[in-house]
Homo-oligomer: A and B are copies of this chain.
Amino acid sequence: MLKYALLGFLSYQSLTGYELEQHIRASTAHFWHARLSQVYMTLKELEADGLVASVVELQESRPDRRVYSLTPAGQAALHTWLAAPLTERSLAKDPLLLKVFFSAAAGKDALLRQLRIQLDLHRQQRTVYSGDLPGMAAELVASDPKLQVDALLWDAVRDFGARYEDLYVAWLEETIQKLERDFPATS
């Protein structure tokens, strides 16, 4: 799956592994992420499959860069993937919810501590979406009007992320309240 994310970014411009990881972190991280080491490995596999090609750019006073670009075969693979319909829901895995599910045995205090930490984290993440991300897309469109549709989709996906954090924050707040009221104090 990461393969396609990389092909997707490379369909806009040629990039190094390092830059690809930064793009991921800046835009898709809330629904798809990867470690740098995995990005490098995956690029190597893509090149072995002929879907990308690389050129080394020598730099003085900085490490050399290996710049990857999409081959015609890569372009084709990307389009094939985009055209193939997903006929199932995406299945989520959330360690926090798993833990909460079994936390009756953990005791009231431990569970509430847990949830308050998460509340902090999700409140923080929510601000990421209200920041200048919408503006970033707008700028790109201004610089290249061909990207108008692309920006529309980037925005839609970013909006999903914002709503997801809203949901998470609201659920945590309400669950904390409910537990303060109804979870008997650990004796």
Contacts and interface: CB of A to CB of B under 8 A. Distances in A.
Interface of A: 1, 4-5, 8, 11, 27-33, 78-79, 81-83, 85-106, 110, 113-114, 117-118, 121-122, 125, 147, 149-150, 152-154, 156-157, 159-160, 163-164, 167, 170-171, 175, 178-179, 182-184
A121 B89 contact: yes
Chain copies in the assembled complex:
2
Given A100-B156, A152-B179, 18 more contacts: A1-B98, A4-B98, A5-B98, A11-B105, A28-B98, A31-B94, A31-B98, A31-B101, A78-B105, A79-B105, A86-B99, A92-B164, A97-B160, A104-B149, A104-B150, A149-B183, A156-B179, A167-B167
A147 to B, nearest CB: 8
